[in-house]
Structure 1
Amino acid sequence: MPVVLSIIGQKGGVGKSTLARAVAVVATQGNLRVKLIDLDIGQQTSVRWSTTRASSRALKTIDAEAFSAVGEALKQVHDVDLIVVDTPGYLSPETFEVARASDLIILPTGSGTDDLHPTTLLLYELEHIGIPKDRLCVALCRVLDAKEERGARRYLESTGYPALNGSLPERLGYRRAHNGGKSVTETTESSLNERANELMASVLRKILQHVRAANRLHSAH
Protein backbone atom coordinates (compact mmCIF):
# COMPACT_ATOMS: atom_id res chain seq x y z
CA MET A 1 0.00 0.00 0.00
CA PRO A 2 1.32 3.48 -0.81
CA VAL A 3 1.99 6.05 1.88
CA VAL A 4 -0.54 8.88 1.64
CA LEU A 5 0.89 12.26 2.60
CA SER A 6 -1.46 15.23 2.52
CA ILE A 7 -0.75 18.96 2.70
CA ILE A 8 -3.67 20.82 4.26
CA GLY A 9 -4.36 24.19 5.83
CA GLN A 10 -6.90 26.82 6.76
CA LYS A 11 -6.27 29.11 3.79
CA GLY A 12 -4.31 29.60 0.62
CA GLY A 13 -0.97 31.29 0.20
CA VAL A 14 0.83 29.52 3.05
CA GLY A 15 2.80 26.99 1.01
CA LYS A 16 0.60 23.92 0.42
CA SER A 17 1.35 23.53 -3.28
CA THR A 18 4.97 24.53 -2.71
CA LEU A 19 5.47 21.69 -0.23
CA ALA A 20 3.46 19.17 -2.24
CA ARG A 21 5.59 19.76 -5.33
CA ALA A 22 8.85 19.66 -3.40
CA VAL A 23 8.00 16.38 -1.66
CA ALA A 24 6.97 14.84 -4.97
CA VAL A 25 10.20 15.94 -6.64
CA VAL A 26 12.53 14.79 -3.86
CA ALA A 27 10.77 11.43 -3.53
CA THR A 28 10.89 10.91 -7.31
CA GLN A 29 14.59 11.74 -7.35
CA GLY A 30 14.95 9.05 -4.67
CA ASN A 31 13.46 6.56 -7.16
CA LEU A 32 10.09 6.28 -5.44
CA ARG A 33 7.00 5.97 -7.60
CA VAL A 34 5.02 9.10 -6.80
CA LYS A 35 1.58 10.40 -7.70
CA LEU A 36 0.75 14.05 -7.04
CA ILE A 37 -2.99 14.51 -6.47
CA ASP A 38 -4.44 17.98 -7.00
CA LEU A 39 -7.79 18.34 -5.22
CA ASP A 40 -8.35 21.92 -6.36
CA ILE A 41 -10.35 20.85 -9.39
CA GLY A 42 -11.02 24.48 -10.35
CA GLN A 43 -7.49 25.87 -10.42
CA GLN A 44 -5.36 22.72 -10.84
CA THR A 45 -2.15 24.65 -10.17
CA SER A 46 -0.11 21.55 -9.40
CA VAL A 47 -1.31 19.85 -12.58
CA ARG A 48 -0.37 22.89 -14.66
CA TRP A 49 3.01 23.03 -12.90
CA SER A 50 3.67 19.35 -13.75
CA THR A 51 2.78 20.05 -17.40
CA THR A 52 5.32 22.88 -17.48
CA ARG A 53 7.88 20.57 -15.87
CA ALA A 54 7.28 17.86 -18.45
CA SER A 55 8.34 20.24 -21.22
CA SER A 56 11.92 20.23 -19.86
CA ARG A 57 14.07 17.23 -20.75
CA ALA A 58 16.42 18.07 -17.89
CA LEU A 59 13.80 17.48 -15.19
CA LYS A 60 12.27 14.25 -13.93
CA THR A 61 8.58 14.16 -14.77
CA ILE A 62 6.08 14.33 -11.92
CA ASP A 63 2.85 12.43 -12.47
CA ALA A 64 0.06 14.79 -11.36
CA GLU A 65 -3.68 14.49 -11.77
CA ALA A 66 -6.70 16.44 -10.57
CA PHE A 67 -9.57 14.81 -8.68
CA SER A 68 -12.67 16.22 -7.04
CA ALA A 69 -12.44 13.97 -3.97
CA VAL A 70 -9.74 12.01 -2.17
CA GLY A 71 -11.80 8.81 -2.19
CA GLU A 72 -12.03 8.91 -5.97
CA ALA A 73 -8.27 9.47 -6.22
CA LEU A 74 -7.33 6.61 -3.92
CA LYS A 75 -9.58 4.20 -5.83
CA GLN A 76 -7.94 5.04 -9.15
CA VAL A 77 -4.27 5.42 -8.21
CA HIS A 78 -2.29 2.18 -8.22
CA ASP A 79 1.31 0.97 -8.41
CA VAL A 80 2.93 3.87 -6.58
CA ASP A 81 4.95 4.13 -3.39
CA LEU A 82 3.84 7.62 -2.32
CA ILE A 83 0.69 9.65 -2.92
CA VAL A 84 1.09 13.38 -2.25
CA VAL A 85 -2.24 15.20 -1.88
CA ASP A 86 -2.35 18.94 -2.56
CA THR A 87 -5.59 20.32 -1.12
CA PRO A 88 -7.52 23.53 -1.93
CA GLY A 89 -6.82 26.74 -0.05
CA TYR A 90 -9.84 26.52 2.23
CA LEU A 91 -11.42 24.19 4.78
CA SER A 92 -14.36 21.98 3.85
CA PRO A 93 -15.80 18.61 4.92
CA GLU A 94 -13.50 17.08 2.29
CA THR A 95 -10.50 18.42 4.25
CA PHE A 96 -11.30 16.08 7.11
CA GLU A 97 -11.93 13.17 4.75
CA VAL A 98 -8.45 13.78 3.35
CA ALA A 99 -7.03 13.79 6.87
CA ARG A 100 -8.70 10.49 7.76
CA ALA A 101 -7.35 8.89 4.58
CA SER A 102 -3.78 10.07 5.19
CA ASP A 103 -0.85 8.38 6.84
CA LEU A 104 0.89 11.72 7.36
CA ILE A 105 -0.39 15.28 7.30
CA ILE A 106 1.68 18.43 6.90
CA LEU A 107 0.23 21.81 7.79
CA PRO A 108 2.26 24.65 6.28
CA THR A 109 2.06 27.96 8.09
CA GLY A 110 3.49 31.41 7.90
CA SER A 111 5.36 32.66 10.95
CA GLY A 112 2.99 35.47 11.93
CA THR A 113 0.21 35.02 14.46
CA ASP A 114 -2.43 35.48 11.73
CA ASP A 115 -1.23 32.15 10.32
CA LEU A 116 -0.02 30.37 13.45
CA HIS A 117 -3.25 30.75 15.42
CA PRO A 118 -5.61 29.20 12.82
CA THR A 119 -3.04 26.47 12.14
CA THR A 120 -3.02 25.57 15.82
CA LEU A 121 -6.81 25.51 15.94
CA LEU A 122 -6.87 23.16 12.95
CA LEU A 123 -4.31 20.87 14.61
CA TYR A 124 -6.49 20.64 17.71
CA GLU A 125 -9.56 19.96 15.56
CA LEU A 126 -7.80 17.20 13.63
CA GLU A 127 -6.70 15.55 16.85
CA HIS A 128 -10.26 15.91 18.18
CA ILE A 129 -11.70 13.93 15.23
CA GLY A 130 -9.27 11.10 15.94
CA ILE A 131 -6.16 11.86 13.89
CA PRO A 132 -3.17 10.62 15.94
CA LYS A 133 -0.84 13.39 16.96
CA ASP A 134 2.19 11.61 15.52
CA ARG A 135 0.64 11.91 12.04
CA LEU A 136 0.51 15.71 12.24
CA CYS A 137 3.45 17.91 11.22
CA VAL A 138 3.87 21.67 10.91
CA ALA A 139 6.15 23.27 8.32
CA LEU A 140 7.23 26.90 8.54
CA CYS A 141 6.97 28.68 5.19
CA ARG A 142 7.35 32.24 3.90
CA VAL A 143 9.64 33.12 6.82
CA LEU A 144 11.09 36.64 6.68
CA ASP A 145 14.03 36.40 9.09
CA ALA A 146 15.64 34.28 11.81
CA LYS A 147 14.03 36.22 14.66
CA GLU A 148 10.55 35.69 13.24
CA GLU A 149 11.27 31.98 12.79
CA ARG A 150 12.50 31.59 16.39
CA GLY A 151 9.32 33.24 17.65
CA ALA A 152 7.14 30.96 15.53
CA ARG A 153 8.97 27.88 16.77
CA ARG A 154 8.52 28.93 20.39
CA TYR A 155 4.81 29.48 19.78
CA LEU A 156 4.35 26.05 18.18
CA GLU A 157 6.34 24.30 20.90
CA SER A 158 4.07 25.89 23.50
CA THR A 159 1.03 24.36 21.76
CA GLY A 160 2.57 20.88 21.70
CA TYR A 161 3.13 20.82 17.93
CA PRO A 162 6.79 21.70 17.30
CA ALA A 163 7.66 22.59 13.71
CA LEU A 164 9.68 20.33 11.46
CA ASN A 165 13.38 21.09 11.11
CA GLY A 166 14.06 23.53 8.32
CA SER A 167 11.92 26.27 6.85
CA LEU A 168 11.22 28.09 3.62
CA PRO A 169 12.03 31.80 3.53
CA GLU A 170 10.08 34.24 1.40
CA ARG A 171 12.30 34.51 -1.70
CA LEU A 172 11.81 35.43 -5.34
CA GLY A 173 14.05 32.52 -6.36
CA TYR A 174 11.41 30.01 -5.25
CA ARG A 175 8.73 31.69 -7.35
CA ARG A 176 10.99 31.71 -10.39
CA ALA A 177 11.65 28.00 -9.92
CA HIS A 178 7.92 27.25 -9.85
CA ASN A 179 7.38 29.30 -13.00
CA GLY A 180 9.78 26.97 -14.78
CA GLY A 181 8.24 23.74 -13.51
CA LYS A 182 10.87 23.27 -10.82
CA SER A 183 10.50 22.82 -7.07
CA VAL A 184 12.00 24.85 -4.24
CA THR A 185 14.89 22.36 -4.10
CA GLU A 186 15.83 23.15 -7.72
CA THR A 187 16.41 26.90 -7.80
CA THR A 188 19.48 28.58 -9.29
CA GLU A 189 20.61 29.63 -5.78
CA SER A 190 22.39 26.98 -3.70
CA SER A 191 21.50 28.65 -0.39
CA LEU A 192 17.78 28.43 -1.21
CA ASN A 193 18.12 24.80 -2.25
CA GLU A 194 19.91 24.00 1.03
CA ARG A 195 17.10 25.60 3.05
CA ALA A 196 14.46 23.66 1.14
CA ASN A 197 16.38 20.39 1.31
CA GLU A 198 16.66 20.65 5.10
CA LEU A 199 12.88 20.84 5.36
CA MET A 200 12.41 18.04 2.82
CA ALA A 201 14.80 15.83 4.81
CA SER A 202 12.55 16.31 7.85
CA VAL A 203 9.52 15.26 5.81
CA LEU A 204 11.25 12.20 4.38
CA ARG A 205 12.30 11.11 7.86
CA LYS A 206 8.63 11.21 8.87
CA ILE A 207 7.70 9.10 5.84
CA LEU A 208 10.39 6.53 6.64
CA GLN A 209 9.28 6.38 10.28
CA HIS A 210 5.76 5.58 9.13
CA VAL A 211 6.95 2.91 6.67
CA ARG A 212 9.08 1.23 9.35
CA ALA A 213 6.21 1.29 11.86
CA ALA A 214 3.85 -0.18 9.26
CA ASN A 215 6.37 -2.90 8.42
CA ARG A 216 6.77 -3.82 12.11
CA LEU A 217 2.99 -4.04 12.48
CA HIS A 218 2.75 -6.22 9.37
CA SER A 219 5.53 -8.51 10.64
CA ALA A 220 3.81 -8.88 14.01
CA HIS A 221 0.71 -10.23 12.26
Structure 2
Amino acid sequence: MGYKIAVVQQKGGVGKSTNCRNLAAAHAGFGWDVKIADLDVNQSTSFTWHKRRLAAGVEPVVAVEIFGSASQALKQADNYDLFIFDGAPMANRATLEVALVSDLVVIPTGLGLDDMEPCVILANDLVKNGVDRSKIVFVFCRTTGSDAELQYAIDYMDQTPYFTVPHPLPEKPSIRGAHDQGLAAIECKFKGPRESAERMTQAIIDRLNELMN
Protein backbone atom coordinates (compact mmCIF):
# COMPACT_ATOMS: atom_id res chain seq x y z
CA MET A 1 0.00 0.00 0.00
CA GLY A 2 1.48 3.33 -1.08
CA TYR A 3 1.20 6.91 0.10
CA LYS A 4 -1.71 9.23 -0.57
CA ILE A 5 -1.56 13.02 -0.82
CA ALA A 6 -4.62 15.23 -1.18
CA VAL A 7 -4.15 18.71 -2.65
CA VAL A 8 -7.28 20.73 -1.93
CA GLN A 9 -8.43 24.31 -1.57
CA GLN A 10 -11.43 26.51 -0.90
CA LYS A 11 -11.12 28.65 -4.02
CA GLY A 12 -9.69 27.99 -7.45
CA GLY A 13 -6.58 29.33 -9.16
CA VAL A 14 -4.12 29.29 -6.28
CA GLY A 15 -1.81 26.46 -7.33
CA LYS A 16 -3.56 23.17 -6.58
CA SER A 17 -2.76 21.41 -9.85
CA THR A 18 0.71 22.96 -9.90
CA ASN A 19 1.58 21.19 -6.66
CA CYS A 20 0.07 17.91 -7.86
CA ARG A 21 2.26 18.01 -10.96
CA ASN A 22 5.40 18.85 -8.98
CA LEU A 23 4.86 16.05 -6.48
CA ALA A 24 4.01 13.55 -9.20
CA ALA A 25 6.96 14.43 -11.43
CA ALA A 26 9.39 14.40 -8.49
CA HIS A 27 8.36 10.95 -7.28
CA ALA A 28 8.10 9.52 -10.78
CA GLY A 29 11.65 10.74 -11.29
CA PHE A 30 12.66 8.60 -8.32
CA GLY A 31 11.14 5.58 -10.08
CA TRP A 32 7.86 5.56 -8.14
CA ASP A 33 4.62 4.41 -9.75
CA VAL A 34 2.51 7.58 -9.45
CA LYS A 35 -1.00 8.59 -10.45
CA ILE A 36 -2.85 11.90 -10.19
CA ALA A 37 -6.58 11.52 -9.65
CA ASP A 38 -8.15 14.58 -11.27
CA LEU A 39 -11.40 15.22 -9.39
CA ASP A 40 -12.24 18.40 -11.30
CA VAL A 41 -14.50 16.89 -13.95
CA ASN A 42 -15.38 20.30 -15.44
CA GLN A 43 -11.92 21.76 -16.07
CA SER A 44 -9.71 18.65 -15.74
CA THR A 45 -6.55 20.74 -15.86
CA SER A 46 -4.27 17.92 -14.69
CA PHE A 47 -5.65 15.57 -17.33
CA THR A 48 -5.21 18.07 -20.17
CA TRP A 49 -1.66 18.77 -18.91
CA HIS A 50 -1.08 15.00 -18.99
CA LYS A 51 -2.12 14.87 -22.65
CA ARG A 52 0.34 17.65 -23.51
CA ARG A 53 3.05 15.76 -21.61
CA LEU A 54 2.38 12.56 -23.53
CA ALA A 55 2.26 14.37 -26.87
CA ALA A 56 5.64 15.99 -26.16
CA GLY A 57 7.18 12.70 -25.04
CA VAL A 58 8.17 14.10 -21.66
CA GLU A 59 9.67 11.67 -19.16
CA PRO A 60 9.18 10.45 -16.54
CA VAL A 61 5.68 9.35 -17.41
CA VAL A 62 3.03 10.48 -14.92
CA ALA A 63 -0.35 8.74 -15.01
CA VAL A 64 -3.42 10.97 -14.72
CA GLU A 65 -7.06 9.93 -14.74
CA ILE A 66 -10.33 11.83 -14.34
CA PHE A 67 -12.65 10.50 -11.64
CA GLY A 68 -16.25 11.52 -11.14
CA SER A 69 -16.15 10.80 -7.41
CA ALA A 70 -13.72 10.25 -4.59
CA SER A 71 -15.01 6.71 -4.07
CA GLN A 72 -14.08 5.79 -7.65
CA ALA A 73 -10.57 7.16 -7.19
CA LEU A 74 -10.10 5.40 -3.87
CA LYS A 75 -10.62 2.02 -5.52
CA GLN A 76 -7.31 2.52 -7.32
CA ALA A 77 -5.34 4.39 -4.67
CA ASP A 78 -3.58 1.40 -3.12
CA ASN A 79 -2.31 0.20 -6.52
CA TYR A 80 0.32 2.96 -6.70
CA ASP A 81 3.41 3.96 -4.75
CA LEU A 82 1.94 7.47 -4.58
CA PHE A 83 -1.63 8.47 -5.36
CA ILE A 84 -2.30 12.21 -5.54
CA PHE A 85 -5.82 13.60 -5.31
CA ASP A 86 -6.17 16.82 -7.33
CA GLY A 87 -9.31 18.11 -5.65
CA ALA A 88 -12.20 20.06 -7.08
CA PRO A 89 -11.71 23.84 -7.43
CA MET A 90 -14.06 24.43 -4.51
CA ALA A 91 -14.19 22.32 -1.37
CA ASN A 92 -16.97 19.74 -1.41
CA ARG A 93 -17.88 16.41 0.14
CA ALA A 94 -15.11 14.67 -1.82
CA THR A 95 -12.59 17.04 -0.21
CA LEU A 96 -13.27 15.54 3.20
CA GLU A 97 -13.37 11.99 1.82
CA VAL A 98 -9.89 12.21 0.32
CA ALA A 99 -8.46 14.23 3.22
CA LEU A 100 -9.50 11.57 5.73
CA VAL A 101 -7.64 8.78 3.92
CA SER A 102 -4.57 10.77 2.86
CA ASP A 103 -1.19 10.79 4.60
CA LEU A 104 -0.80 14.47 3.82
CA VAL A 105 -3.25 17.25 2.95
CA VAL A 106 -1.71 20.14 1.03
CA ILE A 107 -3.61 23.44 0.88
CA PRO A 108 -2.16 26.05 -1.50
CA THR A 109 -2.89 29.69 -0.79
CA GLY A 110 -1.92 33.14 -1.95
CA LEU A 111 -0.42 35.75 0.36
CA GLY A 112 -3.48 37.91 1.02
CA LEU A 113 -6.24 37.46 3.55
CA ASP A 114 -8.73 36.91 0.72
CA ASP A 115 -6.86 33.68 0.04
CA MET A 116 -5.57 32.69 3.48
CA GLU A 117 -8.73 33.14 5.52
CA PRO A 118 -10.92 30.78 3.43
CA CYS A 119 -8.12 28.23 3.38
CA VAL A 120 -7.74 28.30 7.15
CA ILE A 121 -11.52 27.92 7.49
CA LEU A 122 -11.27 24.87 5.22
CA ALA A 123 -8.49 23.40 7.35
CA ASN A 124 -10.48 24.02 10.54
CA ASP A 125 -13.52 22.30 9.02
CA LEU A 126 -11.44 19.29 7.98
CA VAL A 127 -10.04 18.95 11.49
CA LYS A 128 -13.53 19.25 13.02
CA ASN A 129 -14.60 16.38 10.78
CA GLY A 130 -11.81 14.03 11.79
CA VAL A 131 -8.73 14.94 9.74
CA ASP A 132 -5.51 14.81 11.76
CA ARG A 133 -4.33 18.40 12.13
CA SER A 134 -0.66 17.42 11.78
CA LYS A 135 -1.31 16.15 8.24
CA ILE A 136 -2.34 19.59 6.95
CA VAL A 137 0.34 21.60 5.13
CA PHE A 138 -0.05 25.11 3.76
CA VAL A 139 2.02 26.32 0.80
CA PHE A 140 2.24 29.81 -0.72
CA CYS A 141 1.73 29.88 -4.48
CA ARG A 142 1.59 32.46 -7.25
CA THR A 143 3.47 34.94 -5.08
CA THR A 144 4.74 38.38 -6.12
CA GLY A 145 8.34 38.20 -4.95
CA SER A 146 7.79 40.76 -2.17
CA ASP A 147 9.67 39.66 0.96
CA ALA A 148 7.50 41.91 3.13
CA GLU A 149 4.29 40.40 1.76
CA LEU A 150 5.64 36.88 2.25
CA GLN A 151 6.66 37.64 5.83
CA TYR A 152 3.19 39.05 6.52
CA ALA A 153 1.66 35.81 5.30
CA ILE A 154 4.07 33.67 7.32
CA ASP A 155 3.30 35.70 10.45
CA TYR A 156 -0.43 35.22 9.84
CA MET A 157 -0.08 31.47 9.38
CA ASP A 158 2.14 31.24 12.49
CA GLN A 159 -0.97 32.16 14.48
CA THR A 160 -2.69 29.02 13.24
CA PRO A 161 -1.94 25.46 14.39
CA TYR A 162 -0.92 24.32 10.90
CA PHE A 163 2.43 23.49 9.37
CA THR A 164 3.41 26.04 6.72
CA VAL A 165 6.10 25.70 4.07
CA PRO A 166 8.10 28.97 4.08
CA HIS A 167 9.36 28.55 0.49
CA PRO A 168 6.97 30.32 -1.92
CA LEU A 169 6.29 29.54 -5.55
CA PRO A 170 6.27 32.79 -7.56
CA GLU A 171 3.93 33.74 -10.35
CA LYS A 172 6.19 33.48 -13.41
CA PRO A 173 5.50 33.30 -17.16
CA SER A 174 8.16 30.59 -17.39
CA ILE A 175 6.16 28.31 -15.10
CA ARG A 176 3.02 28.83 -17.17
CA GLY A 177 5.10 28.10 -20.24
CA ALA A 178 6.39 24.89 -18.67
CA HIS A 179 2.83 23.76 -17.96
CA ASP A 180 1.89 24.52 -21.58
CA GLN A 181 4.63 22.11 -22.66
CA GLY A 182 3.49 19.31 -20.36
CA LEU A 183 6.20 20.01 -17.80
CA ALA A 184 5.92 20.46 -14.06
CA ALA A 185 7.29 23.64 -12.47
CA ILE A 186 10.20 21.60 -11.11
CA GLU A 187 11.05 20.84 -14.75
CA CYS A 188 11.01 24.49 -15.83
CA LYS A 189 13.95 25.41 -18.05
CA PHE A 190 14.65 28.61 -16.12
CA LYS A 191 16.77 28.12 -13.02
CA GLY A 192 15.15 30.59 -10.61
CA PRO A 193 11.53 29.45 -10.93
CA ARG A 194 12.63 25.80 -11.13
CA GLU A 195 14.61 26.03 -7.91
CA SER A 196 11.71 27.77 -6.15
CA ALA A 197 9.43 24.89 -7.16
CA GLU A 198 12.03 22.35 -6.08
CA ARG A 199 12.40 23.93 -2.63
CA MET A 200 8.66 23.93 -2.05
CA THR A 201 8.21 20.39 -3.32
CA GLN A 202 11.11 19.05 -1.26
CA ALA A 203 9.67 20.70 1.87
CA ILE A 204 6.36 18.92 1.27
CA ILE A 205 8.16 15.61 0.77
CA ASP A 206 10.20 16.19 3.93
CA ARG A 207 7.00 16.81 5.90
CA LEU A 208 5.48 13.58 4.59
CA ASN A 209 8.62 11.64 5.54
CA GLU A 210 8.59 13.24 8.99
CA LEU A 211 5.00 12.15 9.62
CA MET A 212 5.56 8.64 8.26
CA ASN A 213 8.71 7.94 10.33
Q: Which TM-score band applies after superposition, normalised by the shorter structure?
A: over 0.9
Distance apart, 1:162 and its partner CA: 4.0
TM-score, with structure 1 as normaliser = 0.92
Q: 1:151 and 1:203 mapped to 2: Cα distance? A: 21
For 2:21, the aligned partner's letter is R
Percent sequence identity over matched residues? 31
Q: Where does structure 1 differ by over 4 angstroms across 4 or more consecutive aligned residues?
A: none
Q: How does 1:2-81 map to 2 (within 5 A)?
A: 2-81=2-81
- The aligned residue for residue 177 of structure 2 is 176
Count residues with an aligned counterpart.
Answer: 212
- The aligned residue for residue 109 of structure 1 is 109
Q: How does 1:120-199 map to 2 (within 5 A)?
A: 120-144=120-144, 145-199=146-200
Partners of 1:167 and 1:199 within 8 A in 2: yes
Distance apart, 1:38 and its partner CA: 0.2
Highest Rg: 1 or 2? 1
Deviations 1:49-78 (A, max 9, x none): 011101223432110001011221121345
Deviations 1:66-123 (A, max 9, x none): 1011221121345311001101111212211121121110000000110011111111
For 1:155, the aligned partner's letter is Y
For 1:153, the aligned partner's letter is I
Q: 2:41 and 2:66 mapped to 1: Cα distance? A: 6
Q: 1:32 and 1:58 mapped to 2: Cα distance? A: 16
Distance apart, 1:160 and its partner CA: 2.2
Report the secondary structure of 1:64's partner residue: strand
Are 1:93 and 2:93 matched, yes or no? Answer: yes
Distance apart, 1:25 and its partner CA: 0.4
Q: Which moved more, 1:98-107 or 1:202-211?
A: 202-211
For 1:113, the aligned partner's letter is L
Report the secondary structure of 2:165's partner residue: strand
Specify every segment of 5 or more residues in structure 1 that has no aligned partner in the other structure, as ranges: 213-221
Distance apart, 1:207 and its partner CA: 2.3
